Amino acid sequence: MSVVSFQFSEGPLARAFSIGRAECAKRKILLDEPMETESKPGSPFSLKGRMGLIVAVAVVVLLLVWLPGYRLFFLISLGIGVVVAGILYLWNKYRPVKEAESENKKPLGLE
C-alpha cells in the first residue's frame, strides 16, 4: 500500500488551515484504497452516469429559461470554450508533440 504524507508544517498552507506540526504528520492519503462510489443504503437515489448527465442538462436548461442574465453568461462561456478548443485542436494538428519533447513519459511509474 502506497502512502503519501503531506509535509506542510510551516508556510501558507499551515497558516491557512491552522494545522500544527504534529497534525501535519498524521495527514495521509492511501492511494491503493478504492474510493467509495456506491450510494449509501439509506439514500433514495444516486446521480451517477446517465442520470447525472440528465440532471446537469436539465439544470442548465432551467437556468437558461428562468434567468435572462445567465443566457449572456452561458453564450460568452460557450464562445470562449469553442475558441480555446479550436486553438488547441489546430495547435496539436500542426505542432504535434514529439516523443523526444516529453521528458517524463510515465510520471506515476506505472507500466
Structural domain of residue 15, as residue ranges?
1-31
Q: Is 7 contained in some domain?
A: yes
pTM above 0.75, yes or no: no
Residue 53 lies inside a defined structural domain of this protein: no
pLDDT, residue 41, reads 62
Whole-number Å distance between alpha carbons of 91 and 31: 35
Total domains in the fold of the chain: 2
Is there a domain that residue 107 lies in? no
- Residues of the chain predicted below pLDDT 70: 1-45, 111
Q: Is residue 36 part of a domain?
A: no
What per-residue confidence (pLDDT) applies to 30? 47
Residue 90 forms part of a structural domain: yes
CA distance 88 to 110: 27
Residue 73 within a domain: yes
